[in-house]
Structure formats: C-alpha cells, structure tokens
Amino acid sequence: MPSWILLIVLAAAALWIISAYNGLVSLKNQTLNAFRQIDVQLKRRHDLIPNLVNAVRGAMNFEKGTLEAVIQARNQAVTVNAAGPAAVKQISRAENALSGALSRLMVVVEQYPQLKATGNIGQLQEELTSTENKVAFARQLYNDTATQYNTKQQQFPTALVAGLAKAQPADLWEIEDKAERDVPQVDLGLTPVPPLRIAERGSGGEAK
C-alpha cells in the first residue's frame, strides 16, 4: 500500500542521520583545531620567556623569587605540554601557574620605572601582553567550540548519533584560579617608586 510513504520516511531519516553525523564530525575537528591553536600560542609563550627573563635579570637581582617562579613554572609547563591533547587538565593547570607567575613579574616590572626605561623592556612588555592575550583568546575559542561540541552531542536528537560519530565530551580548559591572579607583594628592598602606589596595590596582604 503506502510503501512509498515508508520510503520517504526512511530517506528523510537517513538524510537526517547523515547531516547530524557530519555536523558532529565537523565540530569535533573544529575543537581539535582550536586546541592546536592554543598549542601554537603556548609554544610562542615558552620561547618568549627566556628572552624576557634575560632582559630583566640584570636589573632585578632583588626580585630573585619572582623571577625564579617564572622560570620554574615555564619549565614545568614545557614538560607537561609534551603530553599532547589527552592531558588538557594537566596542561591547563601548568599554564595557569605560568600565567600567574608571569603576571606577578609584570606587576613587579611596573613598579620600577627605571627598569622600564632601560633597554627594550617596553617592547618585551608589549610582546608579553600580546602573547598572554593570544593564549587567552585561543583558550576562549577552544572553550567555546568545545562547549558547542559537548552541547550538541548531549542534546536530543543529535545524542542518538553521538555514538555512531564516536563523539566524546571534550575537556574544557580550566578557568584560572582566582588566587593566582591576586596582586603580588613587592619586595621593597630598593623602594624605587613613591611608596604610596605600592601601599595602594599591596593592600590586603603582609607587605614586608
């Protein structure tokens, strides 16, 4: 009897499965691609840090701790990074630690105008800001794409073909720990700037 109706329904179902499947695969690849973007930017950042450290090292004997923290965090991040996309969580933790250490260093640099005036610190600072932004934006794109991918594979009816497309929820890049972004305490061994500004910035902690 109405076998042609059945045929149409089957054809429509097949078309829908194909389009849903392709949609998932495309999102998966976008997610992977976005992750690679982060990786590229992280490498850039790791390469930039030695330059930065060398540029400030001479003038910053007094801030050994801050500098050391950056170097250590950087080396840690490079090691973890070799693990690849499987270890999103570990990588993001290591990179967040590095972000924290770097921002602390930059605040310290801000406190010493003569340091900024000498050499190419200003340019390095711009480079660093840009690199940090690139990491942040790559991460943002990855998180947005991964969220879209995760939502799609969990939503009905696309969830029905998620198994077929071998869709797995992608790990999101962890949001930075708030404590890490806190303003660092500045070692006042040199008191190079009017202390007023430091007092303002360092409120809420034990300044030595």
Partner 1 sequence: MTDEASLNLFQQQELNRRRTTWLLAVFVLFFAWLGFGGDYIYALYTAHGPPAAQHHVWWFGFLMLAVGAGLAAYAYRTGPEKVLWATGAEEVVDPVDDKQKQLVNVVEEMAIAAGVPRPRIWLVPDDDPNAFATGTDPQHAHVAVTQGLLDLCSRDELQAVVGHELGHVKNLDVRLMTTLAALVGAVVLMRDGTNRIFWSRGSGGGSRKKGDLGPLVLVLLVVWILSWILAPIITQLLAVAVSRKREYLADAMGAQFTRNPLALASALQKIEAADMPTTHIKSGAAHMCIADPLGRRLTAREGLLADVLATHPPMAKRVAILKGMGYAQLKKEGGVATP
Q: What is the binding site for partner 1 (CB under 8 A)?
A: 30, 34, 37, 41, 122-123, 126-127, 129-130, 133-134, 137-138, 140-141, 145
Measured CA distances, 78 to 71, 75, 84, 85, 194 (Å):
11, 5, 11, 14, 38
Alpha-carbon gap, residue 182 to 135, rounded angstroms: 19
Q: Which is nearer to partner 1, 34 or 186 (CB)?
A: 34
Alpha-carbon gap, residue 74 to 66, rounded angstroms: 12
Residues across the chain: 208
Alpha-carbon gap, residue 162 to 180, rounded angstroms: 37
Q: Which residues contact 134 (CB under 8 A, 6 or more apart)?
A: 41, 44, 45
Task: Give least dist CB 153 to partner 1, A.
Answer: 18
Task: Give least dist CB 32 to partner 1, A.
Answer: 13
Task: Give least dist CB 39 to partner 1, A.
Answer: 12
Q: Which is nearer to partner 1, 87 or 141 (CB)?
A: 141
Q: Which is nearer to partner 1, 143 or 185 (CB)?
A: 143
Task: Give least dist CB 162 to partner 1, A.
Answer: 21
Q: Which is nearer to partner 1, 91 or 138 (CB)?
A: 138
